[in-house]
Amino acid sequence: MARTPSTMRELGTPLPTFALPDTVSGQIRRSTEWQGQIVVVAFICNHCPFVIHLKHALAEFGRYCGSHGVTMVAISSNDVTTYPADAPELMKSDAQEFGYVFPYLYDESQEVARAFDAACTPDFFVFDRNGLLAYRGQFDDSRPNNGVAITGQDLRDAVDALLADQRPASTQKPSIGCNIKWKTCPVLARRTVTAEPLLPDGRTARCVASPRRIIGKPRPGTFVPEPPQAHWRHRPSPGERGPSPAAYIPRNRSRRATPDRPNGRTLRTLVHGP
C-alpha cells in the first residue's frame, strides 16, 4: 500500500468556504451552516485500506461528536473515473452500511480538497468556534496490520480540548493513508509552461503532466520548473518535406522525474498551432 502523509496545513488558517452535495440526503451542505461551531472535517473514501481499517470507529466518533454538539462531515474527493468504487451512489451505500450519522459529501471537482491541502485518506481537520484550524493530522496511531488498537485518541483529545475552551496540544502527528486520487497534477493544472519559440513556424510547445504517471499530490510550495533538458516535438505542417537536423528539435520522449520535479512524475509535451 502507498503511504502518503498529511501536508500538516498551518494552524490558525480559516475553514475554507465550500458547498457540496451530501450523497446520503441529496442536499447541498455549506460550510457557512456551521459558523460558531467546532467542526471536524474528514477526507475519506470507500476503497482505501487505511479508511476501511477505521470505518466502524469513524461511525462511533461521529456519534460522539453529535452528542457533544460538534459538527462532523466527511468528504470524498477521489477521481471516480479511475476508482469507481468511490462513486457517489456507493458512498451512500457505505454510509448506510457503517452507520455514518454525519454528512458524506462528494467533491467532484476536487477543489475543496485542494483548498484544504488534503493529501491522503484519511486526513482530519478540526476547526474551533472561530472557524480557525486547531488540529490536523491522524485519528490515532493505529494502521492496518500494525497491531495498535483503534482508539481515535488524537482526534478526540483535540475535540475535547476545544470543548473545554482550551487549545489542542501543539505536537500533532500527520495522518498516513492512500493518496487522494487526483484527476490532474494540482501544480501543473494551474499553469502553462511555455517554451522559447523553438519551432521554425512560430508555434510554441507546452509542457504538461502525463496523468497516467501522476503519483499523489505535490506538497504545498512545490515548484515545477520548465525542464531545460526536455525534448520538444514538431509536427510538420502540410507540404513540409521533413525536418532538417539543423532546424528542428528531436522528437519528444517521456522522461522519468529528476530531483527538481515531484517524485514519480514525467513530463510530456504538446504542440499548439498558431
pLDDT at 270: 43
DSSP letter (8 states) at residue 23: T
pLDDT beyond 90 at 158: yes
pLDDT beyond 90 at 124: yes
Higher pLDDT pick, 138 / 244: 138
**Average confidence (pLDDT) over 61-86:** 97
Q: What is the DSSP string of 221-273?
A: T---PPPTTPPP--PPPTT-----TTTSPPPP--B---TTS-TT--EEEEE--
Q: Return the bridge partners of 135, or none.
A: 126
- Asked whether the beta carbons of 49 and 13 are under 8 A apart, the reply is no
**Average confidence (pLDDT) over 10-23:** 98
pLDDT at 89: 97
pLDDT beyond 80 at 250: no
**Average confidence (pLDDT) over 230-259:** 44
Higher pLDDT pick, 223 / 99: 99
pLDDT at 185: 54
pLDDT at 71: 98
pLDDT at 31: 97
pLDDT at 274: 43
pLDDT at 93: 98
- Which is nearest to 77 in space by CA: 186, 183, 222? 183
pLDDT beyond 70 at 252: no
Distances (CA, A) of 6 to 2, 25, 40, 76, 99: 13, 29, 15, 15, 26
| Cis preceding-peptide flag for 122 (omega within 30 of 0) | yes
pLDDT beyond 70 at 255: no
Segment 142-155, tens digit of pLDDT: 999 999 999 999 99
pLDDT at 1: 59
**Banded model confidence at residue 2, pLDDT cuts 50, 70, 90:** confident
pLDDT at 133: 98
pLDDT at 19: 98
Higher pLDDT pick, 255 / 79: 79
- Rounded Cα distance between 151 and 173, Å, is 15
Structural domains present in the chain: 4-179 (3.40.30.10), 184-274 (no CATH)
Segment 185-231, tens digit of pLDDT: 544 444 333 333 344 454 443 433 333 333 444 445 444 444 443 33
pLDDT beyond 60 at 94: yes
**Average confidence (pLDDT) over 158-171:** 97
Task: Identify the helix (H) or strand (E) that includes residue 209.
Answer: strand 205-209
Mean pLDDT of the residues in the chain: 79
pLDDT at 247: 40
- Rounded Cα distance between 129 and 34, Å, is 9
